[in-house]
Structure 1
Amino acid sequence: MPLVTLSDVLKPALKRGHAIAGLVTLGWEDMRAYVAAAEAESVPVILQAGPSCREHTPLPVLGKMFRHLAESSSVPVVAHLDHGYTADECREALESGFTSLMFDGSRLPLQQNIDETAAIAEMAHSAGISCEGEIGFVGYAQGETSEGTNPEEAATFARETKVDAMAISVGNVHLQENKEGGLDEPRIRTIEALTDTPLVIHGGSGVPMAQRLHLARSSNICKFNIGTELRMAFGDALREAVNSNPSRFDRVQILKDTHDPMVAATRAVLRGFKGEDQC
Structure 2
Amino acid sequence: MGIVTSKEIYERCLNENWAVGGFIGYDMEIMQAAAEAAIKEKAPIMIQASCRVIDYAGVEFLRRMADAVVEKYGVDLILHLDHGDTVERCKLCIDHGFTSVMLDCINDSFEENVRKTKEVAEYAHSRGAVMEGEICHPVEGPKLYETDVEEAVLYAELTGCDSLSVCCGNAHDMNPDYPKTLDVEKIKEIHRVLPHMPLVLHATSIFQEDFVSRANQYGACMKQPLNFSKEELQSSYPYGVCKINSALDIKILYTTAIREYMIKNPQNMDPRKYLSYAKNEIAQYIKYKHREIFRDSERM
Structure 1: gaps of 5 or more residues: none
Deviation at 1:173, TM superposition (A): 2.7
Q: 1:97 and 1:214 mapped to 2: Cα distance?
A: 34
Other structure's SS at 1:167 match: strand
Shift of 1:103: 1.2
SS of the counterpart of 2:245?
A: strand
By how many angstroms is 1:236 displaced? 2.1
Residue identity opposite 1:127 in structure 2: R
Q: Count matched residues.
A: 274
Q: Distance in 1 between matches of 2:45 and 2:170?
A: 21
Instruction: Tell whether the 8 Å contact from 2:41 to 2:297 is kept in structure 1 after alignment.
Output: no
Offset of residue 180 of structure 1: 5.6
Moved more, 266-275 or 27-36: 266-275
Contact 1:26–1:52 (8 Å) recurs in 2: no
Which secondary structure does the structure 2 equivalent of 1:247 belong to? coil
The answer to whether 1:66 aligns with 2:86 is: no
Give the match's secondary structure for 1:132. strand
Would the alpha carbon gap of residues 264 and 180 (structure 1) be closer, same or farther in structure 2, given more than 3 Å must change? farther
Q: Aligned residue for 1:190? A: 189
Tell me which of the two structures has the higher relative contact order, counting C-alpha pairs closer than 8 angstroms and 6 or more residues apart: 2
Q: Is the 8 A contact 1:26 1:49 kept in 2?
A: yes
1:244 and 2:264 matched: yes
Matching residue of 2:146: 148
Q: How does 1:1-279 map to 2 (within 5 A)?
A: 1-14=1-14, 16-137=16-137, 146-174=144-172, 181-196=180-195, 197-206=197-206, 207-216=228-237, 218-271=238-291, 272-274=293-295
What SS does the corresponding residue of 1:83 show, helix, strand or coil?
Answer: strand
Deviates more, 1:15-24 or 1:38-47: 15-24
Seen in structure 2, the aligned counterparts of structure 1 residues 121 and 111 have a Cα distance that, compared at 3 Å, is same
Q: Is the 8 A contact 1:181 1:208 kept in 2?
A: no
Range moving further from structure 2, 85-94 or 203-212: 203-212
Distance 2:185 2:272 in 1: 48
Q: Is the 8 A contact 1:19 1:224 kept in 2?
A: yes
**Pair 1:175–1:60, CA change in 2 (3 A):** farther
Check the 8 A contact 1:176/1:228 in 2, yes or no: no
Q: Which amino acid aligns with 2:183?
A: D
Inter-partner Cα distance in structure 2 for 1:266 and 1:190: 30
CA RMSD of aligned residues (A): 2.4
Provide the identity percentage. 27
* Rounded Cα–Cα distance in structure 1 between residues aligned with 2:297 and 2:64: 34
Superposition TM-score, scaled by structure 2 size: 0.84
Structure 2, unpaired ranges of 5+: 207-227
What is the distance in 1 between the residues matched to 2:171 and 2:164? 16
| TM-score under structure 1 length normalisation | 0.90
CA 1:238 to 1:275, structure 2 compared with 1: closer, same or farther past 3 Å? closer
